Amino acid sequence: MYISSLKIRNFRNFDRSKFVFKKGVNTILGENGSGKTNALYALRLLLDDSLPRNITKLRDSDFCRNLKTWKGHWIIISVEFDELSAHEGCQTLKHNTGHMDGSEKGTLTFYYRPCLRVRQSLFDANGDRAKSKELIDNINIDDYEVLFTGRSSTDFLLEDNYKNLVGDFDTLIFPQPNDKDLKSYGVKISPLHEEVSFTFVKALRDVVSDLKNYRHSPLIELLKGVASDISDVDAEKITNLVAELNSNISELDEIKQVSKGIQDTLHNTVGYTFSPTIDIESSLPSELNKLLQKLSLTVGDNFVDGYSGDLSELSLGGANLIYLALKLLEYERKQDIDKAAQFLVIEEPEAHIHTHIQKTLFENHSVGKTQVFLSTHSTHISSAAEISDMNILGLSENVVDVYQPSFGLGKDECSRIERYLNATRSTLLFAKGVILVEGDAELILIPSLVKKVLGVSLDELGVSLISMDSAFFEHISKLFCEERIRKNCAIITDSDTSIVALHINPLEDTPLQKSCRNSQISGIQRKTKLDEYVQENQYIQAFYAKHTFEVDFLLEDNSIEVIETLSSIYSKESSIKKSKKLLKSSDTDIFGIEILRLANKEGKGWFSLLLSEKISSETYMPKYIMDALAFSCKNKLAEPILHKMCVYRLENEMTLTKEEDKPIQYFEDNLSNKTDCINEFLRACPDDDLTYLIHLLGR
Amino acid sequence: MELSKEQSAAVHFEGNVYVTACPGSGKTRALTARLSLGMSQLYGKSEKVLAVTYTNRAAEEIKSRIEQFVVFDSKKIWAGTIHSFALDWIIRPYAGYLPILNNGFEIADEYETRKIIADLKQEKGLGFFQEINTSFDRAGNVANSNRLAREVEQEYRQHLQARKQIDFDQALYFTYQLLELRPEIAETLGTIFRLVCIDEVQDTQDLQYAILSKIYKYSKIKPKLFIVGDVNQAIYDGIGGLSKSLLELNVEFEGSNLNHFKFSDNYRSTQRVVDYFSFFRNTHGITAKADYSKSAGVIQFLNQSIHKDQLADEIASIIKKELNNGVSENEICIVAPQWAPIRSLTRKLISLLPNVKFDAPSSSPFYGQHDNFWLIVAKIVLTIPSGSLYSTRIRWANEIITRLGDSYHKTSDLTAKQLLKILNSFSSETIVGTDYLCECFNYLIEQLDIELEVDSSLHEAHGLFFEKAQRNIELNEDQYRNEVNVFRSFFKESTGIVINTCHGVKGEEYETVIAFGMLKGFIPHWDIIINQTAQKARSSESKLLYVIASRAKKNLYIIAENGRQTRTRNPYETSQMLLQYNYQYD
């Protein structure tokens, strides 16, 4: 049995989200504050029996902030089980949640909803808007009740279902509460927390205090079971020999087993070289039960024989390791008891262990009945994990969207993409938007263009710029679509239109013309294919340089910047002069050939590095790049960022706006009114690149 | 628990078992032992043993017997009637799969259903004795002999459906349908219940067999079967009880290969009583093995020698004699085939023997209310918190909380102890029983902030509770007063002379049994003989006599009183079988 999906409606920052899980290891990826902890908490509300029972009584602050008012709405969290057969301890779970339709699926749903009295009065008021509104206004959080059901067949993420079964908050029509509709809501059951084993390892920043804290220490949890295993004879002996207690206890097999268990787990986890030596010692105790609770962990290291010290002497990393080891041991102990399934949930494992150990570790723990859930914001772990295990949280305007990047992709396709996503490239999984480019030139120049022309970095915009061999465009861009990652992906590539005039008859081509013609032909083919590919997909759009990136850069009247690089390329004044003349030409076939010659001479990457040093606020940004940038931001940027860009422009040289025309005074006078400032900028600097960009951003 | 050789052989047999057990042979003992053994063999906490009994009372008896000698884990056993099993494990959890149940349902009150049918019969001009069948066969048909009866049945069901109610017959049929539609349900139940014990199998109805055998059929790993019954005690054939032979059972539970065990030692009665009752079903050869098996006791037959108006005096003198001989009150039982004569006799006996206690369920104001929510509240408020009742009261309180939890979310935080505290804090000046309860219910409604209007079924139950209580009190006029103290006495541990019907004392045993109304037309009832062959009627008669006579440990008084008249003004005759029994009575 495993959890195949988690659906969350109206809970915390989840408006309506679905997570898809598979057997084995699952990763929930997301930036800080995107709701990873909330998602795991939702899972825990349904299945973790270490949470206090009354925790399911939620608060008004637990409702999604996106709701205009929480009053009257329901919080609905459901998990779907798969491979739920009536064996191996799953009987109770199957009987309570199984769909009994041969699918081996089951559904457990948690509702936090207004009580019957309120629902009845809302139903009675149907058709009387004023009355309904008054009733809703008067709803108090104490009017809410908790309900667990099994076998619900409804997807509450769908608006129509929500309207029919919860209520329509526009028309103010609510369903008759006495129509139980057991098939849709499910049949009331007692919570099923005890049917599964659930181990939660939280992202601890201060583990040492947790280890020392009697109530929170996982060691105490482990020792609880041991007390009853110790024989009466041993117990009496101990009480009699209080004086020798410390040594006696250390000799007890039960204790040794615990310490050995910890040590073994450690060894298995990090190997012999790095694991600290573990021992358990006692300080003067009196009776057996209390005795065992007095036991505490001591640690030493492998290099100083016989030394064992207090936990606080341990490095933070070491303490984290021990904490994790204790938790994993606790989880392994739980496995012996017959449970329908084991769930191991680890929040931000990077807080505990180095990323390169993580993958092996979790794979080792995902055998048999165990399903592992990890939450992380680490790009490192994301490059180690498989995209087919991933759920990605994306925040946009305070609402979380959950993506499954591998949805519907074949196994081979997934693994090809995974291989390509190295640590840096995997940032595309987190970004708010993505720009895919062809080569190093764009990769180097675009960030400095954005930084120098607009005064903000791509990171600030949340845009991830990724270099991609053109063959990979299709594969990677496949990730962006309705079913997978719902973020925009702009593709920047070259049309390779010939820079020299071509004859009608190809047979008369000079070698240069021939090579230009060939590039042009393959360029057209590529463009046709790409256009066709992106046409159906609103999340992807292609943006073309007419010729090539360098030529188009020069076409934008950026010869000054290029000429400035010449001194770094040539030492001879004559060579510089000659090249300068060619670059200043207005004919594409002259300056185009020249810049390509320079780029080839220096190497495209090196040349763009040189060029990037020369870029300033006066550089013109090629239009198609701005188009791509705007698209990757979903044609939306927050006002503070736009304002910041305007200020940057005004504070720096602007080629097309005279110093005296700059609305600097206006900006100073209207500091608090960003909207007006931006509008003033648009008015005063109509020809500026930023004005063009802001217009693209829907203003 | 000590088992005899024949009991032990059946209990410890590895395969599936079918036991035919003569009266007093320790059937319940063996069943209890098998259940305990089954509980000890369970693997995993999801597994349970299942005991299907004929009455809820029998289920309680089994549970309390198990409690006596093993550490009882209520999660490991489910015991109850097939109806409660069907409701708890199939109908309620899987109601969503049947459109008729999907929007919620209630179990119709039996008293109500009888009233609806009676009204419909009158409307259609059908006679009082016209039987209306409401039970289903496996194909979902309800067989009725004529058009009007069919109409009554159909309109009755429409009536129920309009109130979102179902009756017990429907519960069984829907259960069967669910198991057939979704075999996975049966399969899952089969993995939960690793041992299925069926008590009183001879009184099981066809559809009940079908339900249990479906679970067996669809289980991938078959549960163990332990089936116990006695064809000779099949006294429910009038209402669909169907006793099956070993061969038929093996067909029903396909592949079970049931092994037949016979219990033919009697640990209850004297050899004399054993020999006496053996005549009725020709079961000669049963050995009496009780310590007192050799004692003589009394076996008397008062044939037409007593007029029905002197019946109470005669029985009173028998009781006095028995009490003088040292027999304790709760070892005496008065039994008759029907309720009507029992009620009037009870009234008379109570006035004739003011110092003797009687345990007569029919006379209680709460008779026939066991499914009513408000009865649980009444039980709590009319009993006193004491050691022996402590856990029972907690269980009652939990039942209330569970039921309320469906409508009142605030009660979900309520603990049983808190609820008991609320009810214990109720006090009233009134001594009128029904007024007292009414005030108490209102107090609870107020304290828990229950809005009765929102929950129609609770509201209805409230009305019904007092309607029935009033009716019961009127039926038993003069016998007791409508007073709180009298009400309280009905919930005291049952001690006293038992007065009940033949069906009500099934499975029980008493030192002295006094049976009256042993008349043709009473045993069995006209209803049953009217359209049957003489052979069938005779068979029913013999089984009833067999059951009655075999209740006695030592003393048996059989009375066929005179003076009773049929509707057509003919005198009732003595039971044919008793007349033909040439026995040397005392």
CA distances from A228 to A85, A254, A257, A601, B70 (A): 34, 10, 15, 80, 22
pLDDT at residue A303, as a whole number: 47
pLDDT at residue A270, as a whole number: 66
How far is it, in rounded angstroms, from Cα A332 to Cα A347? Answer: 18
**Token pair for B238:** 């009038």
Partner B, chain A 190-249, Cβ-Cβ below 8 Å = 195
Cβ neighbours of residue A380 under 8 Å, at least 6 residues apart? A350, A355, A423
pLDDT at residue A170, as a whole number: 94
How far is it, in rounded angstroms, from Cα B447 to Cα B419? Answer: 10
Taking CB atoms and an 8 Å limit, are A338 and B406 in contact across chains?
A: no
Task: Report pLDDT digits (tens) over A83-104.
Answer: 998 776 788 999 999 999 999 9
The DSSP element (H or E) to which B336 belongs, if any, is strand B332-336
Question: Under a CB-based contact definition with an 8 Å cutoff, are residues B116 and B124 in contact?
Answer: no
Cα nearest neighbour of A95 on chain B = B188
Phi/psi at A137 (5° precision): -60, -35
| A91 vs B46, B101, B182: nearest CB | B46
Structural domains of chain A, ranges and CATH numbers in brackets: 1-204+338-426 (3.40.50), 215-292 (no CATH), 431-634 (no CATH), 636-699 (no CATH)
Cα nearest neighbour of A179 on chain B = B103
| A55 lies within 8 A of chain B by CB | no
Question: Under a CB-based contact definition with an 8 Å cutoff, are residues B214 and B179 in contact?
Answer: yes
Q: Which residues of chain B have pLDDT under 50?
A: none
> In chain A, which residues have their Cβ closer than 8 Å to the Cβ of B184?
86, 98, 100-102
Burial class from Cβ neighbours inside 10 Å (0-12, 13-18, 19+) for residue B92 reads middle
State the smallest CA–CA distance between residue A108 and chain B in angstroms: 13
Taking CB atoms and an 8 Å limit, are B188 and A183 in contact across chains?
A: no
pLDDT at residue B387, as a whole number: 64
Which has the closest alpha carbon to B556: B230, B281, B229, B295?
B295
pLDDT at residue A40, as a whole number: 93
Q: What whole-number percentage of chain A has pLDDT above 90?
A: 31
How far is it, in rounded angstroms, from Cα B565 to Cα A231? Answer: 78
CA atoms within 13 A on the CB side of B369: 27
How far is it, in rounded angstroms, from Cα B104 to Cα A176? Answer: 12
Alpha helical stretches, state H, B44-86? 56-69, 82-86
- Side chain identity at residue A62, one-letter code: D
Q: For chains A and B, what is the number of CB pairs under 8 angstroms?
A: 93
Neighbours of B483 (CB within 10 A): 15
> In chain A, which residues have their Cβ closer than 8 Å to the Cβ of B102?
180-183
> In chain A, which residues have their Cβ closer than 8 Å to the Cβ of B187?
86
Edge-to-edge strand list for the sheet holding A144-150: A14-20, A2-11, A75-82, A106-114, A144-150, A187-188
Instruction: Choose, out of A1, A90, A92, the residue to mutate when testing the contact with B (most B CBs < 10 Å).
Output: A92
| B93 vs A115, A184, A187: nearest CB | A187
Least confident span in A287-296, A450-459, B72-81, B198-207 = A287-296
Task: Report pLDDT digits (tens) over A567-576.
Answer: 888 888 999 9
Cβ neighbours of residue B87 under 8 Å, at least 6 residues apart? B107, B171
Question: Under a CB-based contact definition with an 8 Å cutoff, are residues A216 and A210 in contact?
Answer: yes
Which has the closest alpha carbon to A43: A371, A334, A366, A335?
A371
CA atoms within 13 A on the CB side of A553: 25
Taking CB atoms and an 8 Å limit, are A91 and B101 in contact across chains?
A: no
Taking CB atoms and an 8 Å limit, are B97 and A100 in contact across chains?
A: yes
Instruction: Choose, out of B42, B46, B163, the residue to mutate when testing the contact with A (most A CBs < 10 Å).
Output: B46
Taking CB atoms and an 8 Å limit, are B96 and A183 in contact across chains?
A: yes
The DSSP element (H or E) to which A492 belongs, if any, is strand A488-494
- The mean pLDDT value for A58-87 works out to 91
Q: What is the pTM of this model?
A: 0.79
| B96 vs A143, A179, A187: nearest CB | A187
* Higher pLDDT, residue B119 or A412: B119
pLDDT at residue A512, as a whole number: 86
pLDDT at residue A302, as a whole number: 47
> In chain B, which residues have their Cβ closer than 8 Å to the Cβ of A184?
96
> In chain A, which residues have their Cβ closer than 8 Å to the Cβ of B44?
89, 338
Cα nearest neighbour of A87 on chain B = B191
Task: Report pLDDT digits (tens) over A7-51.
Answer: 999 999 899 999 999 888 888 888 777 888 899 999 999 999 888
> In chain B, which residues have their Cβ closer than 8 Å to the Cβ of A150?
93
| B407 vs A116, A179, A184: nearest CB | A116
DSSP codes joined into one string, B196-256: EEESSGGG-BHHHHHHHHHHHHH-SSPPEEEEEE-GGG---GGGTB----HHHHHHHTTT-
Taking CB atoms and an 8 Å limit, are B44 and A120 in contact across chains?
A: no
State the smallest CA–CA distance between residue A85 and chain B in angstroms: 8
Alpha helical stretches, state H, A346-424? 355-365, 379-384, 411-420
Calculate the CA dihedral of residues A181, A185, A190, A194 and round it to 10 degrees: 150
A226 confidence band (pLDDT: 50, 70, 90): low
Taking CB atoms and an 8 Å limit, are B45 and A100 in contact across chains?
A: no
Instruction: Choose, out of B188, B407, B413, the residue to mutate when testing the contact with A (most A CBs < 10 Å).
Output: B188
Taking CB atoms and an 8 Å limit, are A145 and B409 in contact across chains?
A: yes
Give me the sign of the Cα torsion angle B329, B334, B335, B339: negative
State the smallest CA–CA distance between residue A127 and chain B in angstroms: 20
Cα A106 versus chain centre, distance = 28
Neighbours of B437 (CB within 10 A): 25
Helix (H, G, I), strand (E, B) or coil at B30: helix
Q: Tokens 């392994």 map to which residue? A: A332
CA distances from B346 to B341, B356, B363, B492 (A): 9, 12, 8, 18
